[in-house]
Amino acid sequence: MARRIGHGPEEDLALEEDLAPEEALAPEKERIFSDLRHVSKQERDAGAWAMMVRKAHPSDLDAIERIESKVFEGDRLSRRSLRHFVTATTALMLVLVFQDRVLGYSLVGFRKGSARARLYSIALDPTEQGHGLGRLLLGASERAAKAHGAAFMRLEVRADNAGAIALYRQNGYRIFGRYEQYYEDGGEAIRFEKALATESHPS
Asked whether residue 186 carries a pLDDT value surpassing 90, the answer given is no
Domain ranges of the chain: 10-195
pLDDT, position 155: 93
Q: For strands 51-55 and 116-124, give the pairing.
A: unpaired
Asked whether residue 10 carries a pLDDT value surpassing 70, the answer given is no
* 12 CB-near residues (< 8 Å, 6+ apart): 6
Q: For strands 101-110 and 92-98, give the pairing.
A: antiparallel
pLDDT, position 128: 83
Asked whether residue 195 carries a pLDDT value surpassing 90, the answer given is yes
Q: 17-70, pLDDT tens digit by residue?
A: 334 434 344 444 434 433 444 444 444 454 445 788 999 999 999 999 999 988
pLDDT, position 183: 83
pLDDT, position 132: 83
Name the 3-class secondary structure at 61. Answer: helix
DSSP class of residue 5 equals B
Name the 3-class secondary structure at 139. Answer: helix
Q: 62-109, pLDDT tens digit by residue?
A: 999 999 988 887 778 889 999 999 887 677 999 999 888 999 999 998
Strand order in the sheet with 174-179: 51-55, 92-98, 101-110, 116-124, 152-158, 189-195, 174-179
pLDDT, position 99: 85
Of 5, 46, 55, 38, the C-alpha closest to 156 is 5
Asked whether residue 7 carries a pLDDT value surpassing 50, the answer given is no
Report the pLDDT averaged over residues 170-175: 94
* Cβ count near 195 (within 10 Å): 12
In angstroms, the Cα distances linking 158 to 4, 31, 127, 165, 170 are 8, 29, 22, 8, 17
Asked whether residue 13 carries a pLDDT value surpassing 80, the answer given is no
pLDDT, position 199: 54
Higher-pLDDT residue of 184 and 150 is 150
Task: Give φ, ψ of 102 to 5 degrees.
Answer: -80, 120
CATH superfamily of the 10-195 domain: Gcn5-related N-acetyltransferase (GNAT) (3.40.630.30)
Asked whether residue 174 carries a pLDDT value surpassing 80, the answer given is yes
pLDDT, position 89: 67
Angle at 197 between CA 117 and CA 111, to 5 degrees: 15
